[in-house]
Structure 1
Amino acid sequence: MKALFIVTGRGLGGDSMIALNTMRAFEKRGIQCEVALDSSAVGTLFEKNGYDWHRISVPHAGGMSATKSSTFSAASKSLKAMFVARDLIKKLGVDFVVGVLGGGAVIASLAGKVSRKPTFSICLTPLDTRICPKLNQCYILPESEKFKWDVLPKNVKKTHYPLSDNIVEGNSDIALDKLRDYPNFDENKKTIVFSSGSSIFKGTIDAMNIVSSKSDEYNLVLVGLPLHEEYSDLIDEDRIIYLGYINWINHLFEYSDLMVLTDDGISIAEAITCKKPIVILARVKWGRYQNIAGVFKGAIIESEVKDVYENVQLAFKDYDDLQEKSIFYAKECLKASDTLVDDVLKKVNE
């Protein structure tokens, strides 16, 4: 069998990582996977992992930050995008279609419907969770408000983030080896990793600088690339260890003692699998509040940026209790890919 993944975004960040991890889970079951991105995408993540990709139109309304005007703009482009995607579905002769988040989920739903192919959407935003269940089976991720509902609408199921198999293959010795290259790293100190995903938001830098100004007892490690060039000036590499964009995050998470993350994205699930306590920074990304602590109850401490130092101290104080809860949720996260794929293939074969 063959599947087409229609993915929102530029082919770089968390949206594409969700797609890539899910594709690999299907491939373990012998399913051939093709991927389509918007024509403006760069597709770096897929290319680095040996995948060619197809250029189509995937209008983007802005995800969790969509406005009325951006939604209207995306909607006005959707009809043409639907027919472009339909033509690709026919050309490739796929057996089913998977849409990944936002515009990817919506265009997959529309194109799959007119192509009369079984279609499945991985959803997150207010727009995709409203439109896609009317057309096909959907799987909602933890940031969606519906994830916290006890009773879900028709055609909606919950899923944790699909993760790569190698996330549990983290080797702390590899991370230690790499960190030793930085002159301000001290292996006798505890290590705290700060991340807001592939892009570094200002709130994450502010939080790290607050901790740095109040204590020198930790190795403070920053991961990602600044969202805006001027943010680079806020990073004090004399006081922190700035790694930039890395491909060994599983090793770094395994080595670290604590992680300070933003309240969305696949990084939280990846960190949970390492069974380490997490401090979540709320409202860092465009002022959004996701209440992820309400999903991973007891495993995460939620914090405003200004209170990060006090909550880091609290995390180390309650370390054993937080770690115990992390172990429970790690099991849920690690089986997410297989559970999702098994459910899709069951429905395809009905």
Structure 2
Amino acid sequence: MTKMKALLIVTGRGMGGDAVIGLNTAEALNKLGFEVEFALDSKAPGLLFKKNNLSWYRTNIPQSGGHASTKKTKLIAGLKLVKAIFKGIFLIKRLKPDIVVGIIGGGAVLASIASKISRTPAISIVNTPVDSKLSLKFNSVIALTESPLYNNDMHSNSNPISSNDSNEFFNVKGKKVFKSFYPLKIKEFKGNKENALLNLPDKFDKNKKTILFSSGSSLFEMMAKGVNDFSKFTNDFNIIVVGYPLKEEYNKYLEENNIINLSYIDWLNDLYEIIDLAILTDDGVMVQEAIALGLPIIALNRVKYGRYHNIEAIFPGAVIESDLEDLNQTIITQINNLNKMRECSNKYRQEVVNSSSKIANIIYNIIKN
């Protein structure tokens, strides 16, 4: 029996959240018997793919800045998209996949347009206003929690429908919009506490509670400021920051002696095993990884380009939101409320854990139907 083939076109550098979405979606598709191939931007280093001994095809995948896109960046991305479409069409015709899956941003849009021209089935996984709007013009989409489609904000007059396999969707001009949490790989994600302790510097104190600050693989300025403010506010906790500063100048916020700056690491799963409270951005894979692992979370609002995602409404009780000026007090309040936050996380854990298989089944059904 010939395996079905899926081509995943993945936005980004192959080392952050978009790459995680692609890799976890691929693994879930593998379990359904798919052969999966990847396409990344020609300039992407692909560190996570290399770590997993995976190869990829190089193509052009324009980025308009995601949630932070402006008219100028959209225009530039649009011009680059024209060239990218031709290369995308060539790749699709060469590989002859049964379905093309676009992963976020430019990858989602490119997959939609190139597949439409190539007459190949496609679906896009979307989470920004731009990819949600453009991809839906060409094919069905899977809307993640930051997408305006997740809360049906873009199409309030659509007719909601529920399929008999509990994959809720609604129709927009003949296209289906499915809603899902991020695809995660929780069983394999479970880390090793001892490995984390071996990797931490000597100033880590096992007798103190440990607080993680992270805005993902890249450290944004507001998160760096939050770390700096809290390090000056108290010395009662291990304060760990993860993420490579988006700009070199952000390192100035990390110079306090009681900050453990790990920069970019590939052993985050081990680190999670010693974390008592995570300070994360109000978007992205990390929030849902932490939910699935039962970690209490404070979401620092508007870290990335000032956008607000209302993540507290998606995970009430498990995620507490805070603005920067209130962060110190919010941490102190919630550090005494960790057990209740963990209980709330457990309410959502199973649905988050099952998200990978849910997405894979949606993709499978797009081909079959």
Q: Do they fold alike, i.e. is TM over 0.5?
A: yes
Question: Is there any run of 5+ residues in structure 2 with no aligned partner, and where?
Answer: 161-169
1:100 aligns with 2:103: yes
8 A contact 1:184–1:238 mirrored in 2: no
Q: Could you say which residue in structure 1 is the equivalent of 2:196?
A: 175
Q: Which SS does the other structure have where 2:141 is aligned?
A: strand
Task: Select 1:238's aligned residue among 247, 253, 257.
Answer: 257
Q: Could you say which residue in structure 1 is the equivalent of 2:300?
A: 281
**Whole-angstrom CA distance in 1 between matches of 2:259 and 2:76:** 42
Q: Which SS does the other structure have where 2:45 is aligned?
A: coil
1:224 aligns with 2:227: no
Q: Which residue identity is paired with 2:178?
A: K
Higher percent of residues as helix:
1
Q: What displacement does 1:334 show?
A: 0.6
Q: What displacement does 1:130 show?
A: 0.8
**Whole-angstrom CA distance in 1 between matches of 2:29 and 2:64:** 28
8 A contact 1:273–1:333 mirrored in 2: yes
Q: Deviations over 1:197-252 (max 9, x none)?
A: 00111211211122221211110111111111121222125211111211221221
1:191 aligns with 2:210: yes
1:262 aligns with 2:265: no
8 A contact 1:276–1:323 mirrored in 2: yes
Q: What displacement does 1:344 show?
A: 1.2
Q: Could you say which residue in structure 2 is the equivalent of 1:318?
A: 337
Task: Select 1:253's aligned residue among 261, 269, 272.
Answer: 272
1:211 aligns with 2:230: yes
Runs of 4 or more above 3 Å deviation: 149-153, 165-168
**Whole-angstrom CA distance in 1 between matches of 2:290 and 2:277:** 9
Once superposed, what is the RMSD of the aligned Cα atoms? 1.6
Question: Is there any run of 5+ residues in structure 1 with no aligned partner, and where?
Answer: none
8 A contact 1:210–1:306 mirrored in 2: no
1:293 aligns with 2:312: yes
1:111 aligns with 2:114: yes
Q: Could you say which residue in structure 2 is the equivalent of 1:40?
A: 43
TM-score by length of 2: 0.90
Q: Which residue identity is paired with 1:49?
A: N
Q: What displacement does 1:168 show?
A: 4.5
Task: Select 1:30's aligned residue among 13, 21, 33.
Answer: 33
**Whole-angstrom CA distance in 1 between matches of 2:80 and 2:242:** 35
Task: Select 1:61's aligned residue among 61, 64, 75.
Answer: 64
1:158 aligns with 2:185: no
8 A contact 1:25–1:341 mirrored in 2: yes
Q: What displacement does 1:91 show?
A: 0.7
Task: Select 1:91's aligned residue among 91, 94, 107.
Answer: 94
TM-score by length of 1: 0.95
Q: Which residue identity is paired with 1:133?
A: L
**Whole-angstrom CA distance in 2 between matches of 1:72 and 1:178:** 44
Q: What displacement does 1:153 show?
A: 4.4
Q: What displacement does 1:4 show?
A: 0.7
Q: Which residue identity is paired with 1:31?
A: F
**Whole-angstrom CA distance in 1 between matches of 2:323 and 2:213:** 14
Identity %: 43
Q: Could you say which residue in structure 1 is the equivalent of 2:363?
A: 344
**Whole-angstrom CA distance in 1 between matches of 2:79 and 2:241:** 40
Q: Which SS does the other structure have where 2:257 is aligned?
A: coil
Q: Deviations over 1:12-35 (max 9, x none)?
A: 211111111111111122211111
Q: What displacement does 1:97 show?
A: 0.4
Q: Deviations over 1:275-297 (max 9, x none)?
A: 12101111111222111112111
